[in-house]
């Protein structure tokens, strides 16, 4: 009879999880990734246009102000127009990209992407802004490759993830041909998720978690709705239960540092760090909400009925006899309500 120790030593080894480095032809997958990056860069740079639509004008103007050390915009014509603008009421200017409120002129968009443009503008010159989004597209594809490789434990599947990011009709290539914030925001957020998906028991897991939180926070400073990326981020942090509290605290500190530009800018522009500069759009939508029947005033209903009856009792307009040229029927005033804002006469 064989001893128990010998039987245990000859037992089948426990299968280890697949490793991307043990895959066949990994070098080919990496080479194809380089080819994908080169083709995407050439395609994007050749099709990048600089037409000044609403968003592009706002981002480039904001970046120019930040590069000069200003947060609020200085418009020379504004003092001459102040007497024609309503007092203490936000007004859209520059094709709805800026807002004038209480003698301040601030950009409607979040400061993250203009900060990137301003940094490139200062370091490499204004012409280098042309290549910001093409470069961000390549970094986004690399982030997808790393994220897919770590999540699926296969560099070939990571390559497929990057390819799907380009081939699917998600407009990522269109976003990269113009100075828009979408590609940078997703790059920052997905890079943070890729860092959190690394080895949770590695020696530098605290540094990776802090850097991931910083990237997720700056993604929120670029697009406020990028805060939704915190949902998968918290799920990835929860995978390592032994260090859950520590990673949440470290990642939270990194996130607070990354979202700090947004909070500071909201404070300067709107006076409230938690009120985004685009919140006035929400106020505009809510102000146009239909009034429920229960909230309508009975007095208003009576006034509407009385004015309608009075309008019907007015004499009919005189009809000009045939052949009387140059004469037209007299116009009758007809009052009718417009929404719930009042009475409009025609």
Per-residue pLDDT tens digits for 264-280: 999 998 888 988 887 76
Check pLDDT > 70 for residue 153.
Answer: yes
User: Can you name the residues that pair with 336 across neighbouring β-strands?
Assistant: 344
Chain segment 301-344, per-residue pLDDT in tens: 444 445 555 555 556 555 555 555 555 445 444 443 333 333 33
- Domain residue extents for the chain: 23-49+114-274
Confidence of residue 94 (pLDDT cuts 50, 70, 90): confident
DSSP assigned state of 231: H
Query: What pLDDT, on a 0 to 100 scale, did the predictor assign at position 139?
Result: 96
Chain segment 109-131, per-residue pLDDT in tens: 999 999 999 999 999 998 899 89
Confidence of residue 160 (pLDDT cuts 50, 70, 90): very high
pTM given for the model: 0.74
Of 4-18, 43-57, 331-345, give the lowest mean pLDDT range.
Answer: 331-345
Query: What pLDDT, on a 0 to 100 scale, did the predictor assign at position 114?
Result: 96
Contacts of 60 (CB under 8 A, 6+ apart): 52, 117, 129, 179
Query: What pLDDT, on a 0 to 100 scale, did the predictor assign at position 310?
Result: 59
Query: What pLDDT, on a 0 to 100 scale, did the predictor assign at position 308?
Result: 52
38-42 mean pLDDT: 93
How many other CB atoms sit within 10 Å of the CB of residue 115?
Answer: 19
Check pLDDT > 60 for residue 3.
Answer: no
Query: DSSP of 19-40, one letter per residue?
Result: -GGGSTTHHHHHHHHHHHHHHH
218-239 mean pLDDT: 93
Query: What pLDDT, on a 0 to 100 scale, did the predictor assign at position 259?
Result: 97
Helix axes 182-196, 205-222, angle to 10 degrees: 160
Query: What pLDDT, on a 0 to 100 scale, did the predictor assign at position 170?
Result: 83
Check pLDDT > 80 for residue 7.
Answer: no
Of 91-100, 105-114, 134-143, give the lowest mean pLDDT range.
Answer: 91-100
Check pLDDT > 50 for residue 233.
Answer: yes
Query: What pLDDT, on a 0 to 100 scale, did the predictor assign at position 18?
Result: 47
Looking at per-residue confidence, does 126 or 54 come out higher? Answer: 126
Check pLDDT > 80 for residue 89.
Answer: no
Confidence of residue 282 (pLDDT cuts 50, 70, 90): low
Please calculate the CA angle 245-248-254 and round it to the nearest 5 degrees. 145
Query: DSSP of 103-158, one letter per residue?
Result: TEEEESS-SHHHHHHHHHHHHH-GGGGGGHHHHHHHHHHHHHHHHHHHHHT-HHHH
- Average per-residue pLDDT for the chain: 79
Measure the CA–CA gap between 89 and 72, rounded to whole angstroms. Answer: 17
Query: What pLDDT, on a 0 to 100 scale, did the predictor assign at position 195?
Result: 93
Query: What pLDDT, on a 0 to 100 scale, did the predictor assign at position 194?
Result: 94
Confidence of residue 242 (pLDDT cuts 50, 70, 90): confident
Confidence of residue 57 (pLDDT cuts 50, 70, 90): confident
% of residues, the chain, pLDDT over 90: 43
184-209 mean pLDDT: 83
Nearest CA-CA partner of 207 in 268, 251, 175, 174: 251
Confidence of residue 298 (pLDDT cuts 50, 70, 90): very low
Query: What pLDDT, on a 0 to 100 scale, did the predictor assign at position 158?
Result: 94
How many other CB atoms sit within 10 Å of the CB of residue 297?
Answer: 10
Query: What pLDDT, on a 0 to 100 scale, did the predictor assign at position 91?
Result: 81
């Amino acid at each position: 009879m064989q001893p128990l120790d010998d039987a245990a030593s000859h037992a089948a080894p426990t299968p280890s999880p697949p490793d991307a480095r043990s895959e066949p032809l990994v070098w080919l997958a990496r080479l194809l990734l380089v080819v994908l990056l080169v083709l995407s860069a050439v395609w994007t740079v050749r099709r990048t246009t600089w037409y000044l639509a609403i968003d592009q004008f706002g981002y480039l103007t904001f970046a120019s102000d930040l590069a000069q050390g200003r947060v609020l915009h200085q418009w020379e014509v504004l003092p001459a127009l102040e007497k024609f603008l309503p007092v203490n009421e936000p007004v859209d200017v520059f094709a709805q990209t800026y807002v004038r409120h209480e003698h301040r002129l601030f950009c409607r968009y979040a400061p993250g992407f203009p900060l990137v443009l301003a940094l490139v503008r200062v370091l490499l010159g204004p012409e280098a802004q042309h290549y910001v989004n093409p470069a961000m597209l390549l970094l986004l594809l690399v982030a997808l490759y790393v994220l897919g490789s770590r999540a699926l434990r296969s560099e070939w599947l990571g390559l497929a993830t990057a390819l799907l990011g380009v081939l699917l009709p998600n407009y990522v290539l269109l976003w990269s041909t113009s100075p828009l914030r979408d590609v940078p925001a997703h790059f920052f957020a997905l890079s943070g998720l890729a860092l959190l998906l690394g080895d949770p028991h590695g020696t530098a897991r605290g540094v990776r978690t802090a850097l991931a939180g910083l990237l997720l926070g700056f993604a929120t400073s670029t697009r406020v709705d990028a805060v939704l990326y915190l949902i998968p981020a918290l799920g990835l942090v929860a995978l390592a239960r032994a260090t859950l509290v520590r990673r949440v605290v470290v990642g939270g500190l990194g996130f607070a540092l990354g979202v700090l530009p947004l909070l500071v800018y909201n404070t300067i522009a709107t006076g409230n760090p938690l009120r985004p500069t685009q919140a006035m759009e929400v106020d505009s939508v809510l102000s146009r909400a239909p009034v429920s029947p229960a909230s309508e005033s009975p007095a208003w209903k009576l006034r509407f009925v009385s004015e309608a009856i009075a309008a019907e009792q007015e004499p009919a307009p005189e009809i000009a006899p045939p052949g009387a040229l140059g004469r037209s029927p007299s116009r009758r005033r007809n009052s009718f309500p417009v929404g719930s804002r009042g009475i409009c006469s025609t």
